[in-house]
Amino acid sequence: MVFGKFVVNLQTYKTGCSAVGSVLRSGRSGRLFESGHPDFFLTNFIHNTQMYTKISNIIACLIMGLAVISCQEKEIQQDLSKLTNEEKIQFYDAKIKQNPKDAELYYLRGKIFYEMGNTKEALFNSQRAIALNKKEVKYYIFEADVFFSRGETTLAFNALQEALKYNDKSVEAHLKIAELSLDLQDYKRCMESVKRVLELDKINAQAYFMRGWVMKETGDTNRAVKDYKKAIELKSDYEQPFEELGILYALKGDGLAVDYLKSTIKINPKNTHAMYALALFYQENDAVQQALDMYQNILEIKPNHADAIHNVGWINYQFKQDYNTALDCFTKAIKADSNFYEAWYNRGKTYEKLGKMTEAQADFEKAKMLE
């Protein structure tokens, strides 16, 4: 018989007391297991072909059963993806009613509540999951995320420290401490956690990315570039370091910005932040049509992207002297963001070009008020 990678042979074996027992040999060199007594159950069927056939059938049925369960689980996941969040909650409510001590169900239900913005229920479910299984680190990480989203940062870090009591080598927990510390601009704590992560996992791309971010924020852009590149080396489809490198090179006016920002967009075609950085780089380097094309790509994804609309207006004003199109764009930018003082000011300049001095003066006054 074949089980996974091991070949298993059932053979008869005569024991020291003249009883016929069983021998189980497996692997390359084989291992010997003897029944030791004729009462052992294998003695009764080892030569029985019909019984052997029954066992083979049972094993086959078990394997088929596992396959069916696996398929059912996949179908459940696919079905859940089609449900609304409210329907998913109802699904997990029913599951929990059937299995009230299944910690994973509370965790999954809590994630849905969190996605819905219901942090009260999310927190209850995370804490219920922890109560049922105190050794599962991801439950503490989820609890920390919920606390952090509620502004309860001390409780968030306390949750992560609690996780480390059960597993002080949890890379995920240390990474979460680093991530939350980075959000709070607590760079010292972030670096301490990153250092611990790299002690546990020397090829952790996220740790290098976060260290690079700290280096950037503290003014060491050369070190930041090295860490971002290391993160990409370890994870070739890591979107954030590609984007950060693109922005850093754009700030230096280096053409490498184009390569890194294009790579970012290739990884995530809906990353409008990277698109905007690339469009702005094109615009500042007089690649006007490429800039316009990129702004158009942004507006296809986010039609009310005020900065993109404004910059299309600026290109028409500055490069094309198409003042009517520029006026239309600046007006749309103001509609998208009424506090966009640059749009008010540039619309005032456009009104001047069109000889509408009263409208121009009104826009200049509005811009001055907002600045």
pLDDT at 13: 36
pLDDT at 4: 40
Instruction: List the chain pLDDT tens, one digit each, 371 residues.
Output: 443 433 333 333 333 443 333 333 333 333 333 334 444 444 444 445 555 556 566 666 555 655 544 454 454 555 788 899 999 999 999 999 999 999 999 999 999 999 999 999 999 999 999 999 999 999 999 999 999 999 999 999 999 999 999 999 999 999 999 999 999 999 999 999 999 999 999 999 999 999 999 999 999 999 999 999 999 999 999 999 999 999 999 999 999 999 999 999 999 999 999 999 999 999 999 999 999 999 999 999 999 999 999 999 999 999 999 999 999 999 999 999 999 999 999 999 999 999 999 999 999 999 999 98
8-state DSSP, 83: S
pLDDT at 81: 83
Q: Is residue 177 within 8 Å of 151, Cβ to Cβ? A: no
Tell me if 84-168 shares its fold with 304-371: yes
pLDDT at 57: 64
| Helix 288-301, helix 306-318: angle, nearest 10 | 150
pLDDT at 79: 74
φ, ψ of residue 271 in degrees (nearest 5): -80, 90
Q: Is residue 25 within 8 Å of 31, Cβ to Cβ? A: yes
The domain limits of the chain are 1-47, 53-82, 84-168, 304-371
Q: What are the C-alpha distances in Å from 214 to residues 183, 200, 220, 246, 249?
A: 11, 20, 9, 17, 17
Q: Is 178 exposed, middle or buried (0-12, 13-18, 19+ CB in 10 A)?
A: buried
8-state DSSP, 320: S
Beta strands across the sheet bearing 20-26: 2-3, 6-14, 20-26
| 304-371 CATH choice from 2.130.10.30, 3.40.50.1970, 1.25.40.10, 1.20.1050.140 | 1.25.40.10
Query: Which residue, among 90, 152, 92, 98, has the nearest Cα to 120 in the 3D structure?
Result: 152
CATH 3.40.50.300 is held by the domain 84-168: no
Q: Is residue 30 within 8 Å of 49, Cβ to Cβ? A: no
With residues binned 3-state (H G I as helix, E B as strand, rest as coil), the percentages for the chain, rounded to 5, are 70, 5, 25
- Residue 179: which residues within 8 A CB-CB, separation 6 or more? 210
Cα-based angle 358, 360, 361 (whole degrees, multiple of 5):
70
Return the amino acid letter for 116. M
48 is written with which tokens? 């029985």
Predicted structure pTM score = 0.75
8-state DSSP, 10: E
> What gap in Å lies between CA 85 and CA 93, rounded to an integer?
12
